[in-house]
Structure 1
Amino acid sequence: MNKSLPLVFFGTENFSLPSLEALISGGYNVAAVVTRPDSRRGRGQRINEPAVKKLAQAAGIKLIQPLVFDDDLLKKLASLRPEAGVLVAYGKIIPQKVLRQFKTGIINAHPSLLPKYRGPSPIESAILNGDRTTGITIMRLSESMDAGPIYAQKTYGLSGNETRPALYGELAKLAADLLLEYLPAILGGKIQPVAQNEVAASYCKLLSRVDGIINPKRETAEQIERKVRAYLGYPKTRLRLLSHPVVITRAHPAGLPAESPLVIKCANNTFLAIDELIAPSGRRVSGADFLRGYRPL
């Protein structure tokens, strides 16, 4: 396989970084990086640059940030004469007119064992559903969401204690490793992808802040504890304690109501011990410190 063949990398999130770093350090000819436009976030509406943008600029790689997939983008891609694209966490469905620009297609690393968890929140879904395994799928991108044929998969075992940020990091590294392992054979035409089993396909949704609001009267302690781990960082697990709005950052199901200083009763007569939370002040505190510092409103 000739590493000098031009590749185009599509990626936006931090999850993309290890894969782009691996391609660069592996000696591949990354002719361009396509990433989403800068956005504004936070109260001050500060400009937020995609994670891969800074890496591409530091490596001297051509940067493309299209607002839409228009003729201008197609001309830029055509001028590169790319052999293939590599896509990791770009955050937007790639239309057929873009896919046609690549001789070998666009090769995608997706953080689930497809066809399970097609969609934008597979890592959170694996934690939320108490799965014992997850993994990475290397596939050829199609216009339908995460439905392309599969080149390879790698399983990653779960202990039941993972948080979203930690698992996100581990799977990002696994995606990079698996791309480097299989990319030579894919580009060299030595392996062909196998169609997914459509009957077994399942889907996960785009998360919003509303998903983080918990209801102890309807959710068990185990369900809420999984939410705390799955939604750590975003959308965050939110609750009102003593009439104060808080974000739960660490908790565990309690066998007895008196097991920990701060315990709430949940559905099916289960109890959740809140070990750590973000108080209204914005500080992370223990459950015991929260009880000492905040009175019922």
Structure 2
Amino acid sequence: MKVLFAGTPSVAVPSLDVLIGAGFDVVAVLTRPDAPIGRKRVLTPSPVAARAAELGIAVIKASKIDDDARAAIAAAKPDVAAIVAYGALIPPAGLAIPEHGWINLHFSLLPAWRGAAPVQHAVIHGDEITGASTFLLEEGLDTGPVYGTMTEAILAQDTSSVLLERLSHSGAVLLAQTLTGIGAGMVTGVPQRGEVTLAPKLGLEDGHVDWARPALAINRQIRGVTSEPGAWTMHQGARFKLGPVAPRPDAGDLAPGHLAFEGKSVLVGTGSHPVELGQVQPAGKKAMNAVDWARGLATKEDVVFE
């Protein structure tokens, strides 16, 4: 089959590589336009566009599927489209182009966590198992029939970025297997069954830590928003970025948001037991170990996060 591959961020690159390695004829890649990156805001191709250029594959850059994008997709004459985190909706006119439709690799066990941030929400809500699903893209939000699934345990130390990296590789294999089965006429989609949960895109405020919450919830929140959109608190009137923390149920009582300095540990009180800080990034500075940051404090008395 001739395949159109649609994707934008680095998490989609393993799927493109696996499809090429499996011998699929990827006739074109659809991705978002170049975006300004870094302090100098240099226009930079997406990771998928860069990889496609290395592979010598034609690239279609579009922020939405308008008439020009549809014409370019139709000109590639794909039999099927594979989509992994492209970043824009595919309208009905676009969905109708490939004979076998658009097969989406989604990083959850549908119908759980439909939406833009399934891995982040799975970690934040304390799921023990997640996975990936391949399904037929429809007009609804991740509602189409499912072709295949794979599962992945969520480890106690997993951040959403670490977990997503693992899923991007195992999910790529699932996508290739699904396309092979569709091409051979051996697989069909099965309607989704079970409880529907939604995973909307997270914003900056979702990373703001409320220290009155229990340590377990704070731990999950911080891991879930690492590395995007990032966890933070307020210190001396400025935003103070936080890396993952470690639960410290063995530590003594500490009021929510109040800091204590014990040898090589920096502890913060929560609504239950304290947590130990790892990497931190004060406003205007680079990321550093919390102990190194604490050494530079003028005073360690009455240090409080808000």
TM-score normalised by the chain length of structure 2 = 0.89
Give 1:210's aligned amino acid. E
CA distance in 2, matches of 1:282, 1:22: 39
CA distance in 1, matches of 2:64, 2:237: 45
Structure 2 counterparts to residues 1-297 of structure 1, below 5 A? 5-197=1-193, 200-217=195-212, 219-241=213-235, 245-255=239-249, 256-257=251-252, 260=262, 261-267=265-271, 269-295=272-298
Q: Is the 8 A contact 1:259 1:273 kept in 2?
A: no
C-alpha deviation, 1:259, in angstroms: 8.8
Unaligned stretches of 5+ residues in structure 2: 253-259
CA distance in 2, matches of 1:68, 1:129: 32
CA distance in 2, matches of 1:69, 1:203: 24
Q: Is the 8 A contact 2:133 2:149 kept in 1?
A: yes
Helix, strand or coil for the counterpart of 1:156? Answer: strand
Q: Is the 8 A contact 2:64 2:89 kept in 1?
A: no
Unaligned stretches of 5+ residues in structure 1: none
Counterpart of 2:255 in structure 1 is none
Root mean square deviation, CA, Å: 1.9
C-alpha deviation, 1:281, in angstroms: 4.8
CA distance in 1, matches of 2:152, 2:247: 25
Give 2:287's aligned amino acid. R
Aligned CA distance change for structure 1 residues 263 and 249 (closer, same or farther; 3 Å): same
CA distance in 1, matches of 2:36, 2:76: 30
TM-score normalised by the chain length of structure 1 = 0.91
Aligned CA distance change for structure 1 residues 278 and 101 (closer, same or farther; 3 Å): same
Helix, strand or coil for the counterpart of 2:243? Answer: strand
Q: Is the 8 A contact 1:163 1:229 kept in 2?
A: yes
Q: Is the 8 A contact 2:63 2:88 kept in 1?
A: no
Give 1:274's aligned amino acid. L
Helix, strand or coil for the counterpart of 2:143? Answer: coil
CA distance in 1, matches of 2:65, 2:172: 26
Aligned CA distance change for structure 1 residues 168 and 226 (closer, same or farther; 3 Å): same
Give CA-to-partner distance per residue, 1:189-234, whole Å, 9 cap, x none.
211101112x6111011111121111212x2211111122111222
The 10-residue stretch of structure 1 (236-245 or 30-39) with the greater mean CA deviation from structure 2: 236-245
Give 2:158's aligned amino acid. E
Give 1:94's aligned amino acid. I
C-alpha deviation, 1:242, in angstroms: 5.7
Q: Among the aligned pairs, what percent are the same residue?
A: 28
CA distance in 2, matches of 1:242, 1:288: 18
CA distance in 2, matches of 1:241, 1:289: 16
CA distance in 2, matches of 1:272, 1:241: 17
CA distance in 1, matches of 2:19, 2:171: 12
C-alpha deviation, 1:72, in angstroms: 1.9
